[in-house]
Structure 1
Amino acid sequence: MAENSDTSTVGRVAAVLRTLGEDDRNSELSGAEIARRVGRERSQISRMLKALAAHGLVEQNPETRGYRLGWQLHVLAARAGDQRLVGSGTAVLRAVVAETGESALLSILQGDQSFTILRERSPHTVQAGGWVGRTSPLHVSASGRALILDHEDDDIRALLTREPPGTFGPKALRSVAEVIERLHHERREGCTVAVDELEAGLLSVAAPVRDATGRIIAALNVSGPTSRTAERLGELSATAKVAARRLSTILSRGPVL
């Protein structure tokens, strides 16, 4: 019988690495704090951290004894995924942050989830959370719905096999029928909007990024506190659409030889 991914060795290692990567300011975490966050015994996590450090995947600050992601992991990450999307996306996201003052993210479709691969932070003290390396449900996130904006209704039903209860924001969509109806409207608008859906107090707008064939390959998202951004919804939506089209154009040009 196969081990559950959460209890297997690989699953535990992945949980530790994700925990260290959750804070995009690259702060350190103690072994005890990592154990607390992943819900494991401290001695077990300590042995795992030593093994990961031996392979350069994590490193320990000799003065504070705290752990952070190692350079070897950064080298491996640099070779992962679509590097043209990552490289070009970084510049576009920075331009969005400079224009709007809000956080900008780039996400891709991973199974039945939206997976964030890039984020540029807002300069504001109060800002949207850091989701790089995290997934979010398709039905309650602007990025998620932007990623499936072109999907047929039957394909959407197949993806959204579960209808989670109200464990998200107060305005979360409650059924597949609601998601499909919203997508029909958002398809006409060319962007998606989620206000207090994924979580209370969070507003996000997103637009699809397309390859040379017109296929959606990513979603560009602008996010911020609802209290600060609600009156700027039209502006943020327009910015997201323009930025997504710009990134699509860059990617459609093909590699420079």
Structure 2
Amino acid sequence: MDSSAERVAALLLAFADKGADGDHKVSELARAVGRERSQVSRMLHALQRSGLVEQDEETRRYRLGWPLLVLASGAGDTALLRAARPVLRKIVAHTGEVALLSVQQGNRSLTVLREESAQSLRAGGWVGRSSPMHCTASGRALLFDSDDQLVDALTADDLLAPAHGLTGPRSLDELLARLRTERQRGYSLASEEVEIGLTSVGIPVRAPAGDLVAVLNISGPTSRMIPRIDDIARRLRAAAGGLEAALAHPLRSGTR
């Protein structure tokens, strides 16, 4: 007979079907875990009181809560997170904009570190937030090593979603064309593709073996970012190089 902890764990894992940003009806979750609807409802109410899940007041659907997403974001590569913190601080000091570290989580870009800017007008993702890969600087930079078939598999569902007037790619061909340009110049640029007035630049970070493990990202208001894209990309390249060196020589950099 399974324990209460095992039942709760199974329920939380059932949310993975739609990713961190997906939501579910109680009946869907009950079917997924093979439990009575009333029993699942009681567990969800308990999880909601702790903030681990949230319920939409209009649709009555449940989604994972931010405390759980933030907790999960810290469960990744400890060496990468520790080495990235001073790098993000340096980026913010030099650019005055928000700096982010993102990793791939399934077909999403997940923000795992964020360093704030002192600017009164700030922008960018927050820790624990996951975003589509086709229309974000971090997401497209994470796709740099993916072949066309994998890019299609990772972005097909999101490319079908309405664009709402934003400037993100609306077809696979358009996405692949942007990726070819961005790979050639070495950085991704997403201007007003997710949010009006928001522009982001992303640079891949590679492990010593050459695998793409993360993306450094600077995000800020378009009015401040666009005139400085070349300088921002140059600073991000230098920062990515410093982070890669820290990952290659953890003892020398103080990362353990």
Structure-1-length-normalised TM-score? 0.72
2:122 maps to 1:122: no
Match of 1:200 in 2: 196
1:240 shift after superposition: 1.3
Corresponding residue SS for 1:218: strand
Note if contact 1:84-1:251 (Cα within 8 Å) is conserved in structure 2: yes
1:18 shift after superposition: 6.7
Please list the CA deviations of residues 88-132 of structure 1 after superposition, one character each: whole Å capped at 9, or x if unmatched.
111100000000000000000000000000000111111014421
Match of 1:182 in 2: 178
Note if contact 2:73-2:128 (Cα within 8 Å) is conserved in structure 1: no
**Structure 1 unaligned spans of 5+:** 20-33, 45-57, 59-67
CA distance in 2, matches of 1:125, 1:249: 33
Match of 2:98 among 103, 110, 119: 103
Match of 1:93 in 2: 88
**Structure with greater helix percent:** 2
Residue identity in the other structure for 1:224: G
Distance 1:69 1:100, change over 3 A: same
Note if contact 2:163-2:170 (Cα within 8 Å) is conserved in structure 1: no
1:249 shift after superposition: 1.4
Distance 1:135 1:79, change over 3 A: closer
1:198 shift after superposition: 1.3
Distance 1:38 1:124, change over 3 A: farther
CA distance in 1, matches of 2:136, 2:240: 17
Match of 2:35 in 1: none
Match of 1:210 in 2: 206
User: Aligned ranges for residues 24-173 of structure 1 at < 5 Å?
Assistant: 80-162=75-157, 163-167=159-163, 170-173=166-169
Distance 1:37 1:244, change over 3 A: farther
Moved more, 78-87 or 91-100: 78-87
1:164 shift after superposition: 3.1
Residue identity in the other structure for 1:111: G
Moved more, 164-173 or 240-249: 164-173
1:161 shift after superposition: 2.1
2:225 maps to 1:232: no
Residue identity in the other structure for 2:246: I
CA distance in 2, matches of 1:15, 1:177: 45
CA distance in 1, matches of 2:80, 2:165: 30
Please list the CA deviations of residues 132-167 of structure 1 after superposition, one character each: whole Å capped at 9, or x if unmatched.
101000000000011111111111112122223443
**Structure 2 unaligned spans of 5+:** 1-9, 16-23, 30-39
% same residue: 39
